[in-house]
Amino acid sequence: MFWGIRLLYRMIDQRSLCPTDQRKTHCKTPQAFEEIYAGTPFDLSYKYSYILVVTYVTFLFGAGIPLLFPIAYLSLLGFYIVERVMMAYSYRTPPMFGTETNQQTMKALLGAPIFYCCFAAWMYNNQQVFENTVIINDGENFFANSGHKLYDMFTHVTPGMPFAIAVICLMIVGVSKMLSKLIRRCTGCELTARKRIMIKDVAQSLDPFFKALSSKQLESFLKEETICRTKIGFNRLTEDSYKDLVHAST
C-alpha cells in the first residue's frame, strides 16, 4: 500500500505514468522533493510493539488455542520478510539506534512464558476436562459450580501440575533475586561492584589523545587553536589540554 501511494505521488509530481526520471520533478523546495522521493521513515517503536503484541497474545491464549503458535510463527515470518524488503528498497536510512531498546524488549519478552505457565497450570487443572467430572447445576444460580479450585493443582495429578511447579520455581527465583539485590543495596556491595566495573572500563591502557595523532594532525590542531586564541579570543581547549598539545607537537 505504501509503495502504491509513493508511486502515485511520483506520477503526479512528474506528470507521467512511468516516473523513472527524478530530474523531471515539479517540486519547488528540497523538503517537498525529499518527502516524495526519500521513502517512508523507519519507525522502530511500531516494530517492537507488533512483536510484543503477537508474542504475548500467543502465549496468553496458546494454552487453550494451540493453533495460535503456528499462526504467530507465520505472522512474524511474514513481518520479517516484509521489513527486510522495505529496508532494502523503501525505508529511509535509519539513524544509529543503541542497544538499550533491544535489551528492554528482550527483557519484556521474558514475561510471556511466565504468563503461559500460569494460564496452562489453571486450564490444564480443570477436572471437568481431564477427568470427566461434571457437576450438575441443580440450584438457582445461572452459572454452575465448576469445582475448580486452586489447591487441585497439588492434590490431583493433572497435565497442569508441571506448569504449576514451574510457576512456583519462577516465583522462588524472582523473590530470591529481589532479596539479594535489596541486601546488596543495604550492605553497599552493589556500589562496590559498580565501582569495580567502572574502573575496569576506564583503565584500558590507552595512549593519550594527542600522542595518537600524526604530525600533520597535530599541526592542524595547534594552528586552529592559535587562531582561535589570538584572533577570535576564544579558547577551544583548556589550559592543560593546550599544554599537552604543544608538548606533543614539539
pLDDT score for 59: 93
pLDDT score for 200: 52
Quick one: average pLDDT of 89-101?
Answer: 78
> Does residue 208 contact residue 244 with C-beta atoms inside 8 Å?
yes
pLDDT score for 226: 85
Higher pLDDT, 143 or 92: 92
> In angstroms, rounded to a whole number, what is the distance separating the alpha carbons of residues 92 and 94?
6
Rg (CA), the chain: 32
> In angstroms, rounded to a whole number, what is the distance separating the alpha carbons of residues 246 and 250?
6
pLDDT tens, residue by residue, 32-88: 776 776 777 778 888 899 999 999 999 999 988 899 999 999 999 999 998 888 888
> Does residue 245 contact residue 237 with C-beta atoms inside 8 Å?
yes
DSSP 230: I
- Name the grid cell of 122: 489453571
Q: What's the mean per-residue pLDDT of the chain?
A: 78
Measured over the CA atoms of residue 176, residue 181, residue 182 and residue 184, the dihedral's sign is positive
Q: Under 8 Å CB-to-CB from 181, ≥6 apart: which residues? A: 190
> In angstroms, rounded to a whole number, what is the distance separating the alpha carbons of residues 101 and 43?
13
pLDDT tens, residue by residue, 155-169: 777 777 888 888 888
> In angstroms, rounded to a whole number, what is the distance separating the alpha carbons of residues 201 and 217?
28
pLDDT score for 2: 63
pLDDT score for 99: 81
